[in-house]
Amino acid sequence: MRDNPAGDSQGTEGVKMKRTIIAAAALLASIGSAGAQEDEIIVTGSRISAYERDFVPVAHLKRRADFLLTTITVESDSRDGDLRRSEVLKTLSALADRAAKDASVELAVKRTFELEGDEIVYVEPLTTKALAADILTGGSRSDTTKAELIVKTAIRPEDTLETAFGRLEKFAQSASKTGRALVYADDEPGLSVVDLDRYRAPLLAAIAADAAALKSALGPDYGISLAGFEQPVRWRVVGPLELALYFPYSSAAAPR
């Protein structure tokens, strides 16, 4: 019987492709259909030029961010490209399985929206749609494959930066890796806040109270005018886990 190198090659390629497909299917099954969390902005990563010129007004809210987060990278440098992708996908699947069993962390992906030179960085839940988009990319070298995810933990009332980040580090360090895959976490965490618009009403109340106090101090012969409330709620990072939330409003007092 004659050898059939072409057939052997096709068989090998088929095995490689099957291996990658199985790994991808396992990952898709493990992440399921995560529920969306509306308007979660990474406040430490977004760059908005107008905010840089702001000063935080007297009437503002000081709040803790909702989540501490960091980037987890899964990377493989196995020689065969299909094997690299399979190893990364299997390791991602193991991470997703572990996150599903750990109530202290969640996995997500990072997205960026740019408009007129400004950059808003936001969080998108890890779903099959997000996975299919662009999660697998080239690594630090041409012969590597990697994927980047966000791992985040809700900031608790008793948390310090160290305790919250410790949960993220513990999750990354306990990852189950396949083959030559490596898992490492960025050592510079960020902060995110969900639904900034929910702070609009309490901010308006704080500003109204401040204006009423000013009017009371000046007496009935003075009126107070306020402007700037058409703007969205803005933020400034003022501590390891803390944000100042505000409107860039202006106030003026004048005789009636």
- Tens of pLDDT, residues 81-122: 889 888 988 888 888 889 989 999 999 988 888 766 778 888
pLDDT band at 140 (very low <50, low <70, confident <90, very high): low
Residue 28 tokens, joined: 């898709």
**What is the C-alpha to C-alpha distance for residues 33 and 203, in angstroms, rounded to an integer?**
35
The tokens 């204006």 sit on which residue? 211
pLDDT at 63: 96
**What is the C-alpha to C-alpha distance for residues 207 and 212, in angstroms, rounded to an integer?**
9
pLDDT over threshold 60, residue 76: yes
pLDDT at 48: 74
Whether the full predicted model's pTM is greater than 0.95, yes or no, is no
Percent of the chain whose pLDDT exceeds 70: 77
**What is the C-alpha to C-alpha distance for residues 158 and 161, in angstroms, rounded to an integer?**
10
**What is the C-alpha to C-alpha distance for residues 81 and 16, in angstroms, rounded to an integer?**
9
**What is the C-alpha to C-alpha distance for residues 52 and 115, in angstroms, rounded to an integer?**
16
pLDDT at 47: 72
The stretch 42-66 carries a mean pLDDT of 84
Residue 154 tokens, joined: 């809700």
State the first-to-last Cα distance of the chain, in angstroms, to the nearest integer: 107
The stretch 228-243 carries a mean pLDDT of 91
**What is the C-alpha to C-alpha distance for residues 30 and 91, in angstroms, rounded to an integer?**
11
Q: Are strands 145-154 and 106-115 parallel, antiparallel or unpaired?
A: antiparallel
pLDDT band at 6 (very low <50, low <70, confident <90, very high): very low
Specify the higher pLDDT residue, 210 or 4. Answer: 210
- Please state which of the ranges 13-22, 39-48, 105-114, 123-132 shows the lowest mean pLDDT: 13-22
pLDDT over threshold 90, residue 191: yes
Task: Using CA atoms of 205, 246, 160, 125 in order, give the dihedral in degrees to the nearest 10.
Answer: 100
pLDDT at 139: 58
Contact 64, 156 (CB under 8 A): no
**What is the C-alpha to C-alpha distance for residues 152 and 104, in angstroms, rounded to an integer?**
8
pLDDT over threshold 80, residue 22: no
The stretch 197-221 carries a mean pLDDT of 94
**What is the C-alpha to C-alpha distance for residues 43 and 256, in angstroms, rounded to an integer?**
41
**What is the C-alpha to C-alpha distance for residues 200 and 249, in angstroms, rounded to an integer?**
13
The stretch 57-62 carries a mean pLDDT of 93
- Please state which of the ranges 28-42, 62-76, 81-95, 208-222 shows the lowest mean pLDDT: 28-42
164's CB contacts (< 8 A; 6+ apart) are 68, 153, 155, 156, 189, 241
Residue 66 tokens, joined: 């909702």
pLDDT band at 144 (very low <50, low <70, confident <90, very high): confident
DSSP symbol at 29? H
**What is the C-alpha to C-alpha distance for residues 167 and 184, in angstroms, rounded to an integer?**
14
pLDDT at 102: 93
Report, in angstroms and rounded to the nearest whole number, the Rg of the chain calculated over CA atoms: 25
**Which residues share a beta bridge with 253?**
224
pLDDT over threshold 50, residue 32: no
pLDDT at 137: 62
Hey, is 83 helix, strand or coil?
A: helix
Closest CA to 186 of 197, 172, 204: 172
In the predicted model, what is the mean pLDDT of the chain? 81
